[in-house]
Amino acid sequence: MSKIDDLIETMRALRAENGCPWDREQTLDTLKPFLIEEAYELVDAIDSKDVENHKEELGDVLLQLIFQAQIREEEGLFSFQDVAEYINQKMINRHPHVFKNDKTIETSSDVLNKWDSFKKAEGKKITFFGNIPNSFPALLESLKINVKAAKTGFDWEKIDDIYDKLDEEVLEFKSAKTDDERIDELGDILFVIVNLARRHGINPEEALKRSNKKFKHRFESMLELAKDKNIEFNSLKLNDMDSLWDEIKKRDKK
């Protein structure tokens, strides 16, 4: 047996009548958050350049795939082997330039165009934004939407036009009267900011991640600084907290 077969058998044992109560209780719906969480942890492992952590997180993602396939197998629908067979054949069929000596495909653009034609031939309904998953994080989804729309020419002529639009949306947010209006207007502000990021060649998801990381570092450093100075942080006034914050910022710049 292969290592994959060993893992499949382990999962079957966990889901069996005398297996683990927690594993037996799981459904496809309850597993969804774990799959998303493990995918993000895998990305973190890649970013960290930690090879052992990368291997571990790949295993965690693989486990989630086998877990879901096991549930479908119990329902008599398909197995993990069926999944592997399907995706392998799909890759072969969609890469005729590799496996069938198709000389009409030479560039990456040719590959993407052929990929869409394969989807149509398979009877898949393709809407303009259909290849952008609704489950994407909102910033990433917005970026994908804007990039695709801009390729048709539907875009601001000058970057200053985006700044003007941002000012307009901020004013509309300030004048909103209800919670629903504020949600709509805040969404419009974020949508424009994503366009601004796109025009500057910035991935907004990565930019916000960087700001999140920076804030966490500075806030935790500020708590440590207060502790070193024997100051009860929660008792400080905002002005005093700002002073600590500025001290951390100066330290970071050095």
The mean of the pLDDT values for the chain is 91
Mean pLDDT of 29-57: 93
The DSSP string of 26-60 is: --HHHHHHHHHHHHHHHHHHHHHT-HHHHHHHHHH
Asked if 42 and 60 count as a contact pair (C-beta separation under 8 A), the reply is yes
Question: Residue 5: is its pLDDT beyond 70?
Answer: yes
More confident residue, 102 or 220: 220
Can you name the CATH fold of 138-202?
Helix Hairpins (1.10.287)
**Distance, CA of 76 to CA of 73 (rounded, Å):** 5
- Tokens 């502790």 belong to which residue? 227
pLDDT of residue 123: 65
**Do 3-92 and 138-202 come out as alike in CATH topology?**
yes
Could you give the CA distance from residue 132 to residue 147 in angstroms, rounded to a whole number? 11
Q: Which tens digits make up the pLDDT trace of 219-231? A: 999 999 999 999 9
> Percentage of the chain surpassing pLDDT 90?
74
- Domain residue limits, the chain: 3-92, 138-202, 205-253
User: What class, spelled out in words, does domain 3-92 have in CATH?
Assistant: mainly alpha
pLDDT tens, residue by residue, 152-210? 999 999 999 999 999 999 999 999 999 999 999 999 999 999 999 999 999 998 899 89
- Whether 86 shows a pLDDT value over 90: the answer reads yes
Among the ranges given (76-90, 101-115, 134-148), the one the predictor scored with the smallest mean pLDDT: 101-115
The pLDDT of residue 29: 95
Prediction pTM value: 0.64
